[in-house]
Amino acid sequence: KQEVTQIPAALSVPEGENLVLNCSFTDSAIYNLQWFRQDPGKGLTSLLLIQSSQREQTSGRLNASLDKSSGRSTLYIAASQPGDSATYLCAVRQRGSGGGADGLTFGKGTHLIIQP
């Protein structure tokens, strides 16, 4: 069974710093990996999707990398801002039975606080 681990569990830094959030998964047979942001009591906002054949994706100040063979992904946040404070979740998608859609398996998240 797929297991997803995120390190660190929590992080508090002053604004302006560049950050690295880590995600690892035990089964490398994934379709893709998605990074999400979740604000307290809210739903999930998709940040980046990396397909299994890709190595990285970028969106604004965010850059995510994927090393499928070693079961690792990294989310890099440049020039952090107080508005980046949230929980960041990593999730992987695998083939479901019958070859169709499968749900996501999530890590426990990194709770990020950016101090003004």
Partner 1 sequence: DTEVTQTPKHLVMGMTNKKSLKCEQHMGHRAMYWYKQKAKKPPELMFVYSYEKLSINESVPSRFSPECPNSSLLNLHLHALQPEDSALYLCASSQDPFASNRYEQFFGPGTRLTVL
- Residues lying near partner 1 in the complex (CB under 8 A): 31-32, 34, 36, 41-46, 49, 51-53, 89, 93, 95-109
Nearer to partner 1 by Cβ, of 55 and 108: the residue is 108
Number of CB atoms found within 10 A of residue 52's CB: 15
Q: How far is the CB of 60 from partner 1 (least distance, A)?
A: 16
How many Å apart are CA 9 and CA 61, to the nearest integer? Answer: 21
Q: How far is the CB of 56 from partner 1 (least distance, A)?
A: 16
Asked whether 24 and 113 are in contact (CB, 8 A), the reply is: no
